[in-house]
Structure 1
Amino acid sequence: MAQEGDWQLDVLRELGQPDGLARPAEPPLRLVHPAPAPPADPRLGLAGAASGQHLDPPARPPSSAPDPRPAVRTPRDLRLPMPTPESVPTLDPRLSHALGSPQHGDSMARRTGRSIRKLTASAAQDVAEQTRIARELQQPVTTGRVIAVTSIRGGVGKSTVSALLGRTFNHYRHDPVLTLEADAALGTLPVRMGAESVRWSCADLAQILTPAMQLTDVTGYLVPVTDGGWLLPASQGHVGAPLDIRTYRTVTLALRRYFAVTVVDCECLPGEVARTAMDTAHARVVVAPTTAEGVNGTRLVLDWLAQLPHSALASTVVALTANSPDLILDGKAAAAHLRETGVTVVPLPYDRHLAGGGPIRTEMLGEDTRDATVRLAAEAMQRAVRVR
């Protein structure tokens, strides 16, 4: 069980705010002491000096020199509005035009054969299974649930799995769903989610969130996803400072008030933000490629999760991805090796549409991929709701 109270209190103490939300730091005021009153004129005597009366000082010749005394600035003057970032395309326009037509995940022959089998088979069992999974995905939550997705290295489908989970939760749930990118500056989540451009990042939002903001205010800084849901990128695609732990904690703690489910596309382990996200999330999805070295490294990660104080292994699911149609490692043997730790393993088959890159279109996914994604989302949601 994630011990939310510990790190949340740390954030509150660091920020020095009662609500734990970051605010722009205000520079200290430069106080100006009032100028001393001119000495009382001797002609007024002691009474005039005691009463503060004095004669007007002689007029000084006009001078162009500025007044050396600094003006007193109020806090309202010091709270300058944050400049609005420029909108940046997620892909170079030349690459966008170079993208060809997306392929369907299943070949035409496979889709035809599947349709024939459906006509001759009973659909009662399939309907019952789909109803059960949908019920798990639609479980009510009392507070926002955070599901962290990570892997031991890049290029294994981590952002793809995050995008698939975000779209699946948004399809089945009727409350707001957020997909948050906590990866390096050049992550691919916005592209996979179908965002044409990005503007505000996690670091930007961490500076302007306030408790008085409503959901409609917050979504004004997010990227709307084509088929529903919201996206918050980690950056504008520049090579710059990576997302730090303080910003990640501030943003996730604040946004849980508005979104029922937040899917976090973390950086790869053993990055600091990834370790923090895995330790504080309600559920975890570890993406493992179906290769010998990928499965072996993922097993080491699972052993590490088993040593955490709150037994994070119980709320972890492994997504075993196939990035090639010709696998050397036996998938069943790989899944059995990972299941020895006690985790649930959900294989994600090779899909031509996902392998082609670019924006994910759910209607172009292979049927086996859709079924596996829905099952993976249900397993993760079941474990996230179990955490109190």
Structure 2
Amino acid sequence: MPNADHNWQHDILRALRGPAVPADTPGPAAPAPSPRPAPAAAPAATERPRPAVPEQPRTPAPAASTRPARTTAPDSLPALDTAMAAVARRPTRGEPAVVRGARALRRIVSGSASREVAVLTRTAEVLQRPVTTGRQIAVTSIRGGAGKTTVTALLGTTYAHYRQDPVLLVEADPALGSLPLRLGAASLRWTTADLADIVAPQMSLLDITGYLVQLPDNAWLLPGSQGRIGAMVDTATYERVMVALRRYFGVTVVDCETLPAEVARAALSAAQARVLAAPATLDGVAGTYAVLEWLRSLPPHVIEGTVVALSVMSPRPGIDVEAAAERLATTGARVHVLPHDRHLAAGGRLRTDLLSRPARLAAARLAAEVFELSRKRR
């Protein structure tokens, strides 16, 4: 779309990729229909209503990827090996029973329950606001173990719970990413790289969802791999997929590679809002602050559309979390603290019913602010 926001995204892409990119390089665009024979039929999917977002005008397709095209349909593989699944323990609740009881008693005595309901009501109103075009939200971090995939799963499940239009979660970290495991996917078949060779403008939402993993609450997952180390997704493949899928889903949350990977940079530049996951540790906060300072050198829209999700990894963090959040906020980015939660810290499938109340409230507030920032960008 030839508008101001489109132009600044191109400027960021050029800044991130370096001077070798010509100034008139076109941005991500919808792919042209593939001339090769259609792949094997996609698995059947439950029909979902199309989101109330208009189709985007088609523009010239970017240069084709050098990755060889798949000629046969992939086999469906389990997301987690049966023997590996056997080592998992029963999932724990986010808070011990004693803490939950004491919290409930305080809410009754202090009358905070009504205030909590009012906050949730306002948050729900923000999350349910309509969009005219699909919003894309990129989640990344500066290193592994920062809570990036957990934040992606929290955002995606929150949007799917509150919104009526379809929500898509994309794994753009194919090197054994854990997003399918976090979302409880039973099996994996088609991947991000596969869909780049399949998606075409004339396809309907029902056609598209046949290649995706269905999740609860009208959410869908596009995995980056089948749980094995394989070819990495290049920037051209990522751009083709994301531009083509934008018109089908009201909100798309992308689990990116860690910075400074090329696909992660492209995802940050093209998204309407960015989330930088950071652990509440001294080195995590220091590294995140350095990245935010770099983002400040880009056009102001970038830092203004960035939110830091500061995750407390242990019951007794080694830093003053509130002071760290204030320091990060001096860069102009929004900062949200995700409190320690035993269920999140244990890994494995994310079950929102097992989250502690503080973690649920913090996740909802984070999702609402990120979504509101994305609505301000075209």
Matched, 1:90 2:93: no
> Match for 1:215: what amino acid?
L
Q: Is the 8 A contact 1:198 1:233 kept in 2?
A: yes
Equivalent position of 1:324 in the other structure: 314
Matched, 1:361 2:351: yes
Matched, 1:258 2:248: yes
How far is the alpha carbon of 1:127 from its aligned partner?
2.1
How far is the alpha carbon of 1:337 from its aligned partner?
1.0
Equivalent position of 1:104 in the other structure: 93
Q: Secondary structure at the match of 1:256?
A: helix
How far is the alpha carbon of 1:82 from its aligned partner?
4.0
Equivalent position of 1:115 in the other structure: 104
List gaps (5 residues or longer) in structure 1. 13-18, 27-79
Equivalent position of 1:130 in the other structure: 120
List gaps (5 residues or longer) in structure 2. 14-24, 38-68
Task: Report Cα offsets for 1:349-387 as digits up to 9, x if no partner.
Answer: 111111111101110011111011000000100100011
> Match for 1:258: what amino acid?
Y
> Match for 1:365: what amino acid?
L
Equivalent position of 1:240 in the other structure: 230
Q: Is the 8 A contact 1:148 1:265 kept in 2?
A: yes
Task: Report Cα offsets for 1:229-269 as digits up to 9, x if no partner.
Answer: 00001111221111110011001101101000000000000
> Match for 2:92: what amino acid?
Q
Instruction: Specify which of 20, 28, 36 is matched with residue 31 of structure 2.
Output: 20
How far is the alpha carbon of 1:129 from its aligned partner?
1.3
Task: Report Cα offsets for 1:265-299 as digits up to 9, x if no partner.
Answer: 00000000011111110000001111111111111
> Match for 1:184: what amino acid?
P
Q: Is the 8 A contact 1:285 1:316 kept in 2?
A: yes
> Match for 2:141: what amino acid?
S
Instruction: Specify which of 248, 273, 287 is matched with residue 277 of structure 2.
Output: 287
How far is the alpha carbon of 1:304 from its aligned partner?
1.6
Matched, 1:169 2:169: no
How far is the alpha carbon of 1:10 from its aligned partner?
4.0
Q: Is the 8 A contact 1:335 1:345 kept in 2?
A: yes
Instruction: Specify which of 215, 221, 226 is matched with residue 225 of structure 1.
Output: 215
- Map 1:302-381 to 2 at 5 A: 302-309=292-299, 311-381=301-371
TM-score normalised by length of structure 1 = 0.81
> Match for 2:261: what amino acid?
G
Distance 1:315 1:160 in 2: 20
- Map 1:173-212 to 2 at 5 A: 173-212=163-202
Distance 1:372 1:335 in 2: 14
How far is the alpha carbon of 1:81 from its aligned partner?
9.0
> Match for 2:89: what amino acid?
G
Distance 1:323 1:10 in 2: 38
Q: Secondary structure at the match of 2:86?
A: helix
How far is the alpha carbon of 1:326 from its aligned partner?
2.3
Equivalent position of 2:262 in the other structure: 272
Residues 310, 22 of structure 1: alpha-carbon distance in 2 compared, 3 angstrom cutoff: farther
User: How much is the aligned-residue C-alpha RMSD, in angstroms?
Assistant: 1.9
The structure number with the bigger radius of gyration is: 1
